[in-house]
Amino acid sequence: MLAEGARQLAQGKKPRMGDLLLTPANAQRVADQLAQLRGAAMKVGQLLSMDAGSLMPPELAEILARLRENARTMPMSQVVEVLETHWGKGWEKHFSRFSFTPAAAASIGQVHRACDKGGRELAVKIQYPGVRRSIDSDVDNVATLLKLSGLLPKNLNVAPLLNEAKRQLHEEADYHHEAQCLQRFRQLLDGDADFLLPEAISALTSTDILVMSWVEGVAVESLDTAPQAVRDRIASRLIGLFFRELFEFRLIQTDPNFANYRYVAEHEQVVLLDFGATRVYPLDTVEAYRDLMQAAVRGDRFAMTAAARAIGYFDEHIHDQQRDAVVDLFALACEPLRHVGRYDFAGSDLPLRLRDAGMKLSMDRDFWHTPPADALFLHRKLGGLYLLAARLKAQVDVRLLAQPHLLALSMEST
């Protein structure tokens, strides 16, 4: 940035900090550094890239998009070191086969395929050394990067959100916690043939190693040319599961990464993976979202305003224009819920309209406000599902999927 700034000053120009950061060459360097850092820094880059091109300058979006797949893998010597640290010398006695070539690599760890002595196929997720120690500094550094780029308003108080992000990432880096969340979801979905989840092997799982049964399946985002019925089925099941998570379980897997979903065509099952980002939702928050969605279906803006206030999106002192803008944003997000029949995600520009409305609100300097973390993580999940449905060109009757939960909660409160 300094070198580029010096060149522009020599040419008589007055460079802006954000412009210096977002040159194509510097964006390339940022992406490369995030890929090497792994951990929290890379995870933030992956989140930024979920909707590449819609939120950021295209130069940065295009390069950051590579972070969804391009994690640097550990060398074999480092894998052996981690395994010996947790399982001791002779750890290989547990397996008849262990592949040192990772089957997948992500921001916090990488997955290896193995087979135990009984012939059971296993997935062994190994955390990168040092990830937990670097979480706090990584989040702070990426936040500084975003502020320099101009993507975050300088006066916005993001400290509560950054603290919550750190807390969430520390939980994700605790594989004992993820194993417990996985087992909880297996219990909640027990007997539901629409979904397939791996089973955690508790005897071999530690804070840094998660061992699960291996589950086959193809990546759902690769099915964009599959028959329409298949694409509709996948999107419908995942959106329907979201409503169950919110209203029935009050437990939401909030990471919308497409890689967390696979599909087994033979049994028409959606595979659910990665439960590190699971959050428990308090009853009052769930009820506020119930009220919000019911009001959106009725077109009752007064009730939507009350629900948005209960969620924590604004206080009593908000200007009327700002309050209306927030309610407009919620109404827009609930468009598939208000639609009667199948909502065509492929033919909708809903993500772009949500982006434009959100950006317009964020430009209002008098309304820079950080919503509660529970709301942001929930919207992150729902936004990811919308993007996946659009990727699959799916048609989903969202209203039909939500209706039983909204009616059930309404009857309970009555």
Residues involved in catalysis: 255
In whole angstroms, what is the distance from residue 165 CA to residue 122 CA? 30
Q: What is the SS3 assignment for 227?
A: coil
Strands, E assignment, 162-294: 195-196, 209-213, 218-219, 251-253, 261-264, 269-272, 278-280
With tokens 């087992």, the residue in question is: 183
The CA-based diameter of the chain, rounded to the nearest angstrom, is 72
**In the beta sheet, which residues pair with residue 211?**
124
Q: List the structure tokens of 226.
A: 């599959």
Q: Do 311 and 338 touch, CB atoms closer than 8 A?
A: no
The CB density around residue 110, as the number of other CB atoms within 10 Å, is 20
User: What DSSP designation does 344 have?
Assistant: E
With tokens 């709301």, the residue in question is: 375
**In the beta sheet, which residues pair with residue 272?**
261
* Sequential DSSP letters for 365-412: GGG-----HHHHHHHHHHHHHHHHHHHTT-EE-HHHHHHHHHHHHHHH
In whole angstroms, what is the distance from residue 353 CA to residue 357 CA? 6
150 Cβ contact list (under 8 Å, min separation 6): 16, 17, 18
In whole angstroms, what is the distance from residue 234 CA to residue 220 CA? 8
Q: How far is CA 167 from CA 158, 285, 373, in A?
A: 14, 19, 11
With tokens 């040319």, the residue in question is: 225
What element of type H or E holds 115? strand 109-116
